[in-house]
Amino acid sequence: MLEKANYTNERDLHNDEKLGFESSCSTFWFGDKYRDHRDNCFVDFMPESGKHSLHIHDDDIMLLSLAISVVIFEQHDVYDNYELSYDQWKAVLDAADLIVGFNSLDELIAYFTMVKESTNGKCDLQYYLNNCGTEFWDKKWLHEKEAKDLRRWTELALSPGEKMHIVGF
């Protein structure tokens, strides 16, 4: 009798077999596979149906935190839970695309300044840029892949009218 192997192909950890979705990002984890491979500092994204789940580690949540912040008009808190409507979630995806679409760090800074001003200081994302803006910009190629994969996964996992649940740690 064959025994179950006690190793997993690294690439398989970042695919959602239920949906037939293959992520190009090692920052995305699906189902329960991630629990054995990282600590528990994950933010969980689950469509209302509960059939699918995407998990992103706190170290890798920067793009989504920024995009969520833009949509909810305040800083996204990785410890809090959120429930976004289908349209709000689509706005998060659009914000992520916009953020990775800037051609320079100066353009990104100008955009976040505009967001801060338009929310009367309630959504001040300069903190993120001051702490890790250069790191974010240096990994723009990765964040572009994340934005693309997130949109592709959403098309498969979230139905129109359904809510996206975001569960902090």
Report the predicted TM-score, pTM, of the whole model to 2 decimal places: 0.85
- Residue carrying structure tokens 């100008």: 110
pLDDT tens profile 29-63: 777 665 565 566 788 899 998 888 888 888 888 99
Quick check: 28 and 54 in contact, CB under 8 A?
yes
Tokens of 95: 């914000």
Tokens of 47: 């469509």
pLDDT tens profile 101-130: 999 989 998 999 999 898 888 888 887 788
Cα four-point dihedral sign 102, 103, 105, 109: negative
CA distance 145 to 139: 10
pLDDT tens profile 80-103: 999 999 999 999 999 999 999 999
